């Protein structure tokens, strides 16, 4: 018997039927599942990734207007940001290191903010260039400013 498909004539008389696949026995299926579910110990990393590496995306905000005032930003999938000073920040290079951090900048004291719950109620919404805190060293003090647009604590 022949059929017409896409303007081609196909002779089905020479086609053979495929044989049904042999079913795997239970032990082979269990071995396949265990290979998928249990990783090979030799392929695991020596040091597991930290919670920050697993749950956050890391950004570095380089400040071109004020050299060496760099920050890092850890952003979670839910929009929460954790902001800190990068290792290249000038406050770490001053003699004696950081001596004090003052969260009372501008009109509000940021140290009194308490964030709770799954949706991070009471989290502050910041605009670009908002002062977060003042970092003091023995010689100088530096105002740390917000550089992104997301929810932060």
Please state, in angstroms and rounded to a whole number, the distance separating the CA atoms of residues 17 and 50: 55
More confident residue, 41 or 4: 41
Which of 19 and 115 is assigned the larger pLDDT? 115
Q: Are 10 and 2 in contact (CB under 8 A)?
A: yes
pTM: 0.60
The chain-wide mean pLDDT, for the chain, equals 80
Residues 16 and 7 sit within 8 Å (Cβ to Cβ): no
DSSP state at residue 118:
T
Can you tell me which residue has the tokens 């009372």?
104
Beta bridge partners of 98: 137
Number of Cα atoms under 13 Å in the Cβ half of residue 98? 15
For the segment 100-118, what is each residue's pLDDT rounded down to a tens digit?
999 888 777 777 778 888 7
d(C-alpha 153, C-alpha 123), whole Å: 5
Minimal CA–CA distance to 89: which of 58, 60, 132? Answer: 60
């Amino acid at each position: 018997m022949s059929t017409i498909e896409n303007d081609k004539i196909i002779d089905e008389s020479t086609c053979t039927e495929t044989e049904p696949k042999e079913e795997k026995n239970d032990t082979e299926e269990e071995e396949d599942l265990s290979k998928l579910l249990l990783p090979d110990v030799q392929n695991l990393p020596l040091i597991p990734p930290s919670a920050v590496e697993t749950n956050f995306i890391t950004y570095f905000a380089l400040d071109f207007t004020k050299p060496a005032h760099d920050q890092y930003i850890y952003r979670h999938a839910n929009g929460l940001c954790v902001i800190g000073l990068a290792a290249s920040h000038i406050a770490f290079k001053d003699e004696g290191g950081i001596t004090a951090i003052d969260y009372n900048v501008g009109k509000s004291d940021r140290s009194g903010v308490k964030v709770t719950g799954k949706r991070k109620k009471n989290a502050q919404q910041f605009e670009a260039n908002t002062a977060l805190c003042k970092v003091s060293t023995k010689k100088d003090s530096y105002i740390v400013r917000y550089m992104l647009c997301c929810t932060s604590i």
